[in-house]
Structure 1
């Protein structure tokens, strides 16, 4: 397979550096064939005569739009519905009941960070629909964010191939939450409008400032943490901690932990992959914060108080 590669080794090393710089992810040394396959498809889509022409343009001009396209293409994750089922069980059996006990209704907002083609976001929406009768008066809003890519475009369209819906999606959910494509020649399935109304997707540079996003009661960051470099992990976790409301949740993949890098999150006993945000001092709270977050328990807090001026 290595003998079929045409991309020059220096270019491959340059692509690894670019991906690390823009996304904080190490490509590794054993993905050359995947890199060439994906970039060849991107070259055809963008009208380049060859992969070499695309790479020459990328490193010859330094054009930022093409750089983002290349990196997002290289990092597109192969996701499917109901991946890592433990996460969905924690959402319906732990996170929702706890939030409902505090709020008693209203809207719960979730962030799907690194949402890829949207299966995670729509999957959580389907999980909520199955149990929402247990939580009268509670509604759910999900925002999925990722680098601009063909995968994110598919998420926004809510359109999946027959192969994709067969991967982890029970037949009952397919019938309940999807419509077959109206095009006679297509076997695609399209998310129903009732489910789409709960989910929106945004183009976001995952290592940039996340200040444009609202606050969330829960963040889904599953299966991606091990791929980030050390500095990128710190940057991402610091950004996510600023988005989670006090007593809100951070849900990692079932085999992932924050270890000593917690940024204001405490592990939930029932699962090492589930973390809860510590409370903040009342004077620093956002008006959108839950009332329960204003009850001080005397613990050391994540948000520092402002020092009073002497005299």
Structure 2
């Protein structure tokens, strides 16, 4: 048995639903938390237990129950300027390299895949805004996608609690880019309108990018994929990436032994480049 009151088959069905809808699998530690995660969903839909929830998923014609169930099983952990040194490197080095690469087109496209509730995408938008003069006359598109409709709804609103605002956000940026309201801290309209948030499954949907992505954030998402799904995800990321571009993964993630689509950047620690980009550079040397 995998858990307490629910049958093993209920857990199997829920794990299957999550993987088929999102590509994600549940680690043993997350399996034990399924029931706790789904309690608010069961209360909202007046469902007694996990077995009844699974029965409801099978028989219900309501998409809401399925959406709520999948949403509750996702890990939407994120915060502003996650790994501050990475954002420092992006501000100091990566954005300058991308400006040089794209100086003729004067266009920059950033895709944040698995954007969750939006804090890291807003962190990127703030970096761009703070470099205002550098990007004058440029078309800068930031696209944030996530499979969770709940997370994307929150990201679009851009309203954060005191706890969320204090996680990683320096006070001077909080004062500059947020308005304090009775409901929480609201991202200023100038930053909000810089990002296009949409509900997307990165494995099956095509993100709404106007041009190939110059910088892709896909952090702490591939951890939850099986090896075969991870390969599929890397292939999708490569399809969406510009010929000269950078991929950012989570601190605990790597391309080594996972894919031949991307390789570690020789110039920028912790970033990755399309493998064919490095081959072209070597051939030209």
Q: TM-score, normalised by structure 2?
A: 0.85
CA deviation vs aligned residue, 1:26-46 (integer Å, no higher than 9, x gap): 21222345312221112334x
- Structure-2 separation of matches of 1:51 and 1:33: 15
Could you tell me which of 229, 233, 242 is aligned with 1:232?
A: 229
Backbone CA RMSD of aligned residues? 2.8
* Other-structure match for 1:119: 119
Q: Which of the pair is proportionally richer in helix?
A: 2
Change (3 A) 1:126 1:298: closer
Give the superposition deviation at 1:271: 4.2
1:77 pairs with 2:65: no
* Equivalent position SS for 1:31: helix
1:130-279 counterparts in 2 under 5 A?
Answer: 130-134=130-134, 136-138=136-138, 140-181=140-181, 183=182, 186=183, 188-210=184-206, 213-214=209-210, 215-277=212-274
- Structure-2 separation of matches of 1:109 and 1:211: 12
Change (3 A) 1:23 1:299: farther
CA deviation vs aligned residue, 1:123-155 (integer Å, no higher than 9, x gap): 111122233445554453211001133222100
Give the superposition deviation at 1:299: 4.4
CA deviation vs aligned residue, 1:169-192 (integer Å, no higher than 9, x gap): 1111111111112x4xx3x11110
Number of equivalent positions:
278
Give the gaps of 5 or more residues in structure 1: 281-295, 301-311
* Other-structure match for 1:48: 46
1:30 pairs with 2:29: yes
Give the gaps of 5 or more residues in structure 2: none
Does 257-266 or 58-67 show the bigger shift? 58-67
* Other-structure match for 1:98: 97
- Structure-2 separation of matches of 1:65 and 1:213: 28
Change (3 A) 1:194 1:135: closer
Give the superposition deviation at 1:297: 6.0
* Other-structure match for 1:14: 13
Does 33-42 or 201-210 show the bigger shift? 33-42
- Structure-1 separation of matches of 2:257 and 2:31: 34
Paired residues of 2:13 and 2:54 also in contact (CA < 8 A): no
Q: Larger Rg: 1 or 2?
A: 1
* Equivalent position SS for 2:121: helix
Paired residues of 2:116 and 2:155 also in contact (CA < 8 A): yes
Q: TM-score, normalised by structure 1?
A: 0.79
CA deviation vs aligned residue, 1:224-280 (integer Å, no higher than 9, x gap): 222210111011111111111110111112342211444543321244531123568
* Equivalent position SS for 1:90: helix
